[in-house]
Structure 1
Amino acid sequence: MGDGEGAEVTIYDVAAAAGVAASTVSRALSKPGRVSFKTAEHVRRVAAELGYRSSRIELPLSQRGTGVLAVVVADIANPVFVGVVRGAERAADQHDLTLAVVETQESEAVEQRALARLEATVDGFVLASSRLTDQAIRAVAKRRAVVVLNRTVGSVPSVVSDNGRAITQAAEHLVGLGHTSIAYLAGPEASYADGTRWRSLREAGLELDVRVVRVGPHLPTLRGGGAAAAAWQQRPTTAVIAYNDLMAIGFIQAVTAAGRRVPADVSVVGFDDIVDAEIVRPPLTTIAAPTVDMGASAVGHLVSSRRDTARPSAPDGTTGEPVLLPAWLVVRASTGPAPAPAAAGGSAARRAPAPRPTG
């Protein structure tokens, strides 16, 4: 400690008096969530006794921050969120922050309750595939820093992939193979990304003069893909684009079991480029997005918000244009030339042996 009267007390003085490392003092005073409650209280008491002051310690507790960020995902079993969480975790670690992962089970009500419980314990949220309304998201953003992924919400920062351009690429790929009809296997009705993808496909259909239809909504799971296949077989098309890879894989499994061949009878395109897309047979043509970069970019924005202002909104009160990251088509073996006209509409299934109905 300084010897002269009025000498400034340093963080090293506090560390020596508290019997801890200087880095522990730093975390206790600026990011209490990074140390135990007992240690944080001990360091704060010693700092106060020594007369140590910093802009951080003089802030009200509600503005000091906890050093914890939360990534909220719709379904933790969905492989697409692995990249998002990985990117967010890496970025958080670089800034000495802790990342919590919360699952909402595709439920708006569960998501609302989770955010309400966590608001007091985290510095900000990354909402991946949120099922909340725009109004609900803006309400949360007034109280905590928020970044949404794959969605744009007015006055709330967002990171999105260029789904529209990627959907157009997929449609162009299919038209180039001779396809004249494409079905979109829709995901959850409350999904913003689902609506965006369907609108983009409809616009591409008009531009390319190809018929597009919507099948669904269905769950964004293997089972949901199977249900979509059952509905699709009532009015089959020569190609389908699924809401995500899990639905596409479930669709392939179901139509194959029904006697159809992929891609000889129907071409299939997924979305997300999960690990299983390369394992399934045939390997899945899909639209890939930089999910790791999306998670990292979202956390980067939250960190900037914490540094620039105590308010949870962006520094200037607005967000401007969303951060737009590229998405691209990955062509594999699940897409091929359109079947001959005589095979369309289900005759392909008659060519392949099908089980006789029983009972």
Structure 2
Amino acid sequence: MRVVVVAMDSPGRRRTPTLADIAALSGVATSTVSRALSEPRRVNDATRERIERAAAELGYLSRSRVRPLPAGRPRAIAVLVSDVTNPFYFGIVRGTQHQLKAAGYQQILVDTEESDELEDDILRKLRSSFDGAILAASRLTDRRLTALSEEMPLIAINRQTRGVPHVFIDTPTGFQQALTHLVSLGHRDIAYLAGPDTSWANETRWRTLARAAAGHGISVRRLGPFLPSYDPGAAAADAAIAAGVTACIAFNDLIAIGMLGRLRERGVRVPQDMSVVGCDDIFGADFCNPPLTTLTQPTERAGRTAVDILISRLNAHDEREMRRSSTLPTHLTVRSSSGPAPATGETAARDRAASRRLASSHR
């Protein structure tokens, strides 16, 4: 006798079955279920029939959003980025492109324009056009991302959500290094220039800074949010000046570089009056005036690793064969935009007196 377990959302209310439910009932991997329902020709007859029986028993087929992939369609992977003009994604896209080409897949590059709604809509509407998806810095909620991972093969970059395969770039450790760097230079009044509220990485970085600051016996102010591009850096700089902080850690390099230009316009010297630290080490970060202290991230490696994990899932017939995650390290690259905290109060007076005595001794 076969027992079918019906998932319930709440007492008396039946939950919509997922690919994971079908996988558990039929004894195969979730990726195999996705292949069987979307591209049956890639799964052997016995396995496909077992999956279809399980899906029918759970009532999945009548409400499924999975559509068969067109016959003869080239194998393809969708790569979704939140802003295709952001240099942070250049390395990721280069890495995915090279690795997908080597594996015999085409790349579909999609710009979601920092919109969680557009990201969700594209994944649903274009599902029949790709075999799997790589979400670079997804703006979706944890709940929605988990649900999508049960409906289709996908992997997230720069995101950690339970149950969702991922490649995590360890920026939290890098942000701890950035804060320690600034504290070692004497800074005690530091601001975090936040990115979008929908960014998972933004919240993670803020929580990391708050914990690290408490460990140093100081507090960090949160300013923003700001869109992660160059122009909002001017508003970020104005906010930092108004807050009276001596050092800033920006959500990304584009905000930080925009800040440098605005601080220069307002006569605030970097790093003598204010230190600025970015994140990503994008192309041009070392060409700024002054060159930007920032977190260096292995973006191209992240793209290649994401492809490897996703394709291993597409080809696996057993959950035990799958890779699920990878964590890549970051490090702080110190340049000229960070320096000692400006002297204040009695310290400044002593410095001025010492400068006068030194000047008089050379007359």
Q: Same fold (TM over 0.5)?
A: yes
C-alpha distance in structure 1 between counterparts of 2:289 and 2:95, whole Å: 29
Report what 1:289 is aligned to. 297
Report what 2:315 is aligned to. 307
Report what 2:215 is aligned to. 207
Structure 1 pair 338/307, CA: closer, same or farther in 2 (3 Å)? same
What runs of 5+ residues in structure 2 fail to find an aligned partner? 1-40, 50-67, 348-363
Q: Residue 233 of structure 2: which of 225, 233, 252 is its match?
A: 225
Report what 2:166 is aligned to. 158
Structure 1 pair 190/73, CA: closer, same or farther in 2 (3 Å)? same
What aligned pairs does 1:130-279 form with structure 2 within 5 A after superposition? 130-279=138-287
Report what 1:330 is aligned to. 333
Q: CA deviation at 1:210?
A: 2.6
> Secondary structure at the residue paired with 2:249?
strand
- 8 Å CA contact retained: 2:276, 2:337: yes
C-alpha distance in structure 2 between counterparts of 1:225 and 1:317, whole Å: 45
C-alpha distance in structure 1 between counterparts of 2:42 and 2:166, whole Å: 30
C-alpha distance in structure 2 between counterparts of 1:316 and 1:62, whole Å: 26
C-alpha distance in structure 2 between counterparts of 1:195 and 1:317, whole Å: 33
Q: CA deviation at 1:234?
A: 1.5
Structure 1 pair 316/63, CA: closer, same or farther in 2 (3 Å)? farther
Structure 1 pair 146/291, CA: closer, same or farther in 2 (3 Å)? same
Per the normalisation by structure 1, the TM-score is: 0.75
- 8 Å CA contact retained: 1:175, 1:210: no
- 8 Å CA contact retained: 2:312, 2:322: no
Residue 78 of structure 1 pairs with residue 81 of structure 2? no
Letter aligned with residue 333 of structure 1: S
Q: Residue 87 of structure 1: which of 90, 95, 99 is its match?
A: 95
Structure 1 segments, 4+ long, off by >3 Å, are 54-66, 316-320
> Secondary structure at the residue paired with 2:242?
coil
C-alpha distance in structure 1 between counterparts of 2:346 and 2:287, whole Å: 28
What runs of 5+ residues in structure 1 fail to find an aligned partner? 1-53, 345-359
> Secondary structure at the residue paired with 2:129?
coil
Structure 1 pair 159/169, CA: closer, same or farther in 2 (3 Å)? same
Letter aligned with residue 106 of structure 2: T
C-alpha distance in structure 2 between counterparts of 1:318 and 1:93, whole Å: 21
Q: Which 10-residue stretch deviates more, 230-239 or 196-205?
A: 230-239
Q: Residue 298 of structure 1: which of 282, 306, 310 is its match?
A: 306
C-alpha distance in structure 2 between counterparts of 1:222 and 1:343, whole Å: 37
Structure 1 pair 142/105, CA: closer, same or farther in 2 (3 Å)? same
Q: CA deviation at 1:130?
A: 0.8
- 8 Å CA contact retained: 1:155, 1:318: no
Letter aligned with residue 206 of structure 1: A
Q: CA deviation at 1:211?
A: 2.6
* RMSD (CA atoms): 2.4
> Secondary structure at the residue paired with 1:233?
helix
Report what 1:116 is aligned to. 124
Q: CA deviation at 1:139?
A: 2.0
- 8 Å CA contact retained: 2:278, 2:293: yes
Q: CA deviation at 1:316?
A: 5.1
Report what 1:67 is aligned to. 75
Letter aligned with residue 325 of structure 1: L
> Secondary structure at the residue paired with 1:279?
coil
Q: CA deviation at 1:143?
A: 2.0
Q: Which 10-residue stretch deviates more, 204-213 or 260-269?
A: 204-213
Report what 1:26 is aligned to. none
Residue 339 of structure 1 pairs with residue 347 of structure 2? no
Letter aligned with residue 327 of structure 2: L
- 8 Å CA contact retained: 1:187, 1:217: yes
Q: Percent identity?
A: 40
